[in-house]
Amino acid sequence: MVKKLLIISSDITGHGHKSITESLCEKVETYNGIEIHVADGFSLGKRLLLTIGKSYGPITRNSENLWKMIWKLSALKPHLVDNFIELLITDNFLKLVDDVKPDMILSVHPNFNGSILNILEKHSLSIPFCTLIADLVNIYPLWADKRADCIISPTLAAQNKCIEFGIPDEKIKVSGFPVRSRFFPKNHHQPKIYTKGQSLTCLVMSGGEGVGNMKKIAENLLDHFDCNVKIVAGKNVKLKTKLEMSLKANYGDRVEVYGFTPNIQDLMLTSDIAFTRASPNVMFEAFATNTPLILTGALPGQEEDNPAFAEAFNLAVVCRNPNDIKETVTELLNNDGEKLNNIIKSQQDFINTNAAEDILQLILEVAEPYYEEAKVKLS
């Protein structure tokens, strides 16, 4: 019997939720009898909800302080956010459920946990509901709803935060962070190794929205090291044009500037060091590709403690000031790249290559009692 899994995700608030969803979808073939349906939670709402979702990019690009205020205010009264979104999505969500007839539901966005649980409860819909947290340390209370059958956490830090929010320990499962398979090297047992004197390929990026001081980072690298620099400006078209005009004239072929890049794994796999904001999705994709990270900043709110998290496990180093790039990279390369190579080893030991499969298995296990109960009722 085919079991239908409905995933509520988001295509318009960064790229992380979509990437997580894709990592699960590509593993379905491993589990015979599972059929996945994906819905963008924001598209279930009226025009107002889509407008709110689409504002994420411009706000995070242009005003981190405004984003910090929004994050903190919405965390103070999570039930108000749940009730507001419930009001906007109820009709379309019920239609979706009627069309798909899911056997289980997974939410990978905080805005659609309590809101959907409200709807299921009010309409007496007995469908197993799981939450997959997409943040690492600083999580919204919106992720932690006691009514969920299971909350799947990528880290012990996020699990501990859920417990602080009052979630029973037995409802929280730690899985690791799911990463799409194309980010893992074909030969995972032969990670990159830096050798003294080699020319560096450096990748500079800042999430799908293209934020951060990438020009200064690139200039410091190109002025002080034997390197080529690839810059990914993401969806920020204006930034891409600006970077091309300012850097190409001075550095020529040593620098390449990209817009939004669906095959970002190819750039990571061919880079020796990556410079990025502490976005969970980008961080774990770098861990998977064995690309040492220099974290240059973090969005306030959900990313605040991600740099410290990465440093604690020796997965990255932090350099928030572009003027310190020379010193930071030099330290990584000293002693034949000892520190750089240790980071590569730590990343390989840390990453759970089977996280996506583990998550699907957890969802099946949570849903199994519902199936057994249904069989009893039918008999």
Do both 32 and 143 map to the same domain? yes
Please state, in angstroms and rounded to a whole number, the distance separating the CA atoms of residues 266 and 378.
51
pLDDT at 32: 62
Phi then psi dihedrals of residue 218, to 5 deg: -60, -45
How many separate domains does the chain show?
2
Do both 304 and 238 map to the same domain? yes
Do both 14 and 146 map to the same domain? yes
* pLDDT (tens digit per residue) in 226-281: 999 999 987 778 888 888 888 988 999 999 999 888 889 999 999 999 999 999 99
Do both 344 and 234 map to the same domain? yes
- CA torsion angle for 256, 260, 266, 272 (degrees, to 10)? 50
Residue 34, pLDDT above cutoff 50: yes
Do both 101 and 233 map to the same domain? no
pLDDT at 289: 94
Please state, in angstroms and rounded to a whole number, the distance separating the CA atoms of residues 42 and 286.
28
Do both 156 and 10 map to the same domain? yes
CATH number at residue 132: 3.40.50.2000
* pLDDT (tens digit per residue) in 189-238: 667 788 888 899 999 986 544 445 888 999 999 999 999 999 998 777 88
Please state, in angstroms and rounded to a whole number, the distance separating the CA atoms of residues 276 and 238.
19
Residue 112, pLDDT above cutoff 50: yes
pLDDT at 15: 77
Do both 191 and 124 map to the same domain? no
pLDDT at 377: 58
Residue 64, pLDDT above cutoff 80: no
Please state, in angstroms and rounded to a whole number, the distance separating the CA atoms of residues 133 and 154.
7
Please state, in angstroms and rounded to a whole number, the distance separating the CA atoms of residues 124 and 19.
32
Residue 335 structural domain? 182-350
pLDDT at 209: 45
Question: Percentage of residues in the chain with pLDDT exceeding 70?
Answer: 93
Residue 185, pLDDT above cutoff 90: no
Question: Which SS3 state, helix, strand or coil, does residue 86 take?
Answer: helix
The mean pLDDT value for 359-369 works out to 89
The mean pLDDT value for 356-369 works out to 90
Q: How confident is the model at residue 68 (pLDDT cuts 50, 70, 90)?
A: confident
Higher pLDDT, 368 or 154: 154
Do both 311 and 346 map to the same domain? yes
Find the range with the poorest average confidence among 51-65, 76-90, 121-135, 222-236. Answer: 51-65
pLDDT at 375: 57
Output the DSSP codes for 237-249: HHHHHHHHHHHHH
Do both 94 and 110 map to the same domain? yes
The mean pLDDT value for 335-351 works out to 94
Do both 139 and 198 map to the same domain? no
Do both 309 and 360 map to the same domain? no
Do both 235 and 252 map to the same domain? yes
Please state, in angstroms and rounded to a whole number, the distance separating the CA atoms of residues 188 and 190.
6
Prediction pTM value: 0.90
The mean pLDDT value for 30-54 works out to 86
